[in-house]
């Protein structure tokens, strides 16, 4: 089984093109780490009016996403992205979990 989750992040104004460029060049090791953690079908959407980013992903029931923050590749990615988005002091992006209010299978 699997579940879909969604969350919101905040992009700094004027950074949309750079954010997309960096994701076009995502570290292959990070992509593999996400797969290994049980993450698939991961998309990020941008609302250009307010710079909110919406992440949506599928994760397996036995996922290990909670271990990703401890990996060097995740820390490296967060450091790489910290200058263009809202983050905590340790470079972890500020994320707000979203509640699903509708589903159409």
Active-site positions?
23
Interhelix angle 72-81/28-36, nearest 10 degrees = 130
Task: Return d(Cα 27, Cα 24) in angstroms, integer.
Answer: 9
């Amino acid at each position: 089984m699997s579940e879909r989750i969604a969350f919101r992040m905040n992009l700094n104004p004027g950074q949309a093109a750079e954010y997309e460029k960096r994701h076009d060049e995502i570290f292959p090791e990070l992509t593999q780490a996400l797969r290994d953690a049980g993450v698939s079908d991961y998309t990020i959407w941008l609302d250009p009016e307010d710079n909110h980013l919406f992440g949506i992903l599928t994760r397996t029931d036995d996922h290990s996403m909670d271990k990703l923050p401890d990996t060097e590749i995740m820390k490296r990615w967060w450091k790489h992205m910290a200058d263009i988005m809202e983050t905590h002091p340790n470079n972890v992006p500020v994320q707000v979990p979203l509640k699903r209010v509708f589903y159409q299978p």
